[in-house]
Amino acid sequence: MSEMKDKFGRPLHDLRISVTDRCNFRCRYCMPKEMFGNDFSFMKREQLLSFEEIERVAKIFVSLGIRKIRLTGGEPLLRKDLPVLIDKLMSIHGLEDVALTTNASLLERMAPRLKEAGLHRVNVSLDAINDDVFMTINDAAYKTEMILRGIDKAKEVGLGVKVNMVVKKGMNDHQVIPMATYFKKRGITLRFIEFMDVGTANGWNFRQVMTKKELYDELFKHFALEAVNPAYVGEVAKRYRYVGTNTEVGFITSVSESFCSTCTRARVAADGKLYTCLFASNGLDLKSILRSNSGDEAVRAAIVSTWQNRTDRYSDERTEESAKNKTKIEMSYIGG
């Protein structure tokens, strides 16, 4: 079938599905304790899409050209029986890749089951290698040792592993070189993410953004790097390789070098809403359509209409003032 494209000619290639809004960290980036304290009311089980509903949605998206699905959260490993869902997704004809974004706090225990269910890859969110910095960022009693063991276990069982680090000036920018050194030695791809104004809870301002150029310049003081060509159309990471190795480092540049023009990604949030942009305010309520006894064609038509009428270009149009005044879906609901 021909590609389904929006008004700017952007095809739909990649789907992120958030399976829970819960997390066992209260990260300063997406779930600060000032907003997500001990008394925060998370979604009830019946408010989440069931595994059967997720499978149904996934099949419809695959019929529209999706070949890759990433499960997100919250922390997706908190969703009970998650390997059952992965097994269901892997049975969908035409779906080529299922991956998972995680903070890896439960990964050491769950990695074998995830691999057995058919999971291909994990992206681990880790913003510091130093225990004190890590624990401060996440308001957690966990130390990095547990996260690093989870990463090692994932590699041991044969899962692909990448590590994502959100870099914020004054918080963890001094961890850039220690993180790069650690994961270079282990042959694991590390990707630096510019601090973004996702949601409304993280107190974003541009002065705290360490840009790709600043990150690259800092790395280049310590490592020789060479550019790597994109692996596919719409790849968001600017990729480099440490010279003389096969180990990569990447930069995700939503602030300093927008990639709106090549964005091919849709997201289904924890509450069942479909969003066509990470910075969206409103989404299509897929859950209501699914639970109204509508057939697959009605769900498919709603998805097609939403994508084809998509006009979002938030990162192209962002200003510091607009970032402060726009209401956006919180990261805990929509994932990365």
Tokens of 60: 């419809």
The closest of 258, 256, 277 to 266, measured between CA atoms, is 277
Report whether 101 belongs to an annotated binding site. yes
Pairing of strands 248-252, 160-167: unpaired
C-alpha distances in Å from residue 59, one per residue of 62, 117, 270, 283: 5, 18, 18, 20
CA distance 303 to 292: 16
Report whether 196 belongs to an annotated binding site. yes
Report whether 239 belongs to an annotated binding site. no
For the purposes of burial, counting CB atoms within 10 Å of the CB of 45, is it exposed (0-12), middle (13-18) or buried (19 or more)?
exposed
Report whether 265 belongs to an annotated binding site. yes
The total number of residues shown for the chain amounts to: 336
Strand ranges for 59-198 from DSSP E: 68-72, 97-102, 121-125, 160-167, 189-194
Give the angle 231-233-238 at the CA atoms, nearest 5°. 60
CA distance 15 to 274: 10
Report whether 125 belongs to an annotated binding site. yes
- Please report, as a single letter, which amino acid is at residue 336: G
Report whether 283 belongs to an annotated binding site. no
CA distance 262 to 328: 21
Long-range pairs, 144-147, Cβ under 8 A, ≥24 = 146/104, 146/105, 146/108, 147/103, 147/104, 147/105, 147/107
Report whether 113 belongs to an annotated binding site. no
CA distance 96 to 118: 11
Report whether 162 belongs to an annotated binding site. yes
What is the DSSP secondary-structure string of 31-83? S-TTTS-TT--PPPGGGSPPHHHHHHHHHHHHHTT--EEEEESS-GGGSTTHH
Report whether 74 belongs to an annotated binding site. yes
Report whether 263 belongs to an annotated binding site. yes
- Scan for tokens 């699905």, then name that residue: 69
Report whether 121 belongs to an annotated binding site. no
Report whether 277 belongs to an annotated binding site. yes
Name the binding residues.
16, 23, 27, 29-30, 70, 74, 101, 125, 162, 196, 260, 263, 265-267, 277
Binding site, annotated residues for [4Fe-4S] cluster: 23, 27, 30, 260, 263, 277
Binding residues for GTP: 16, 70, 101, 162, 265-267
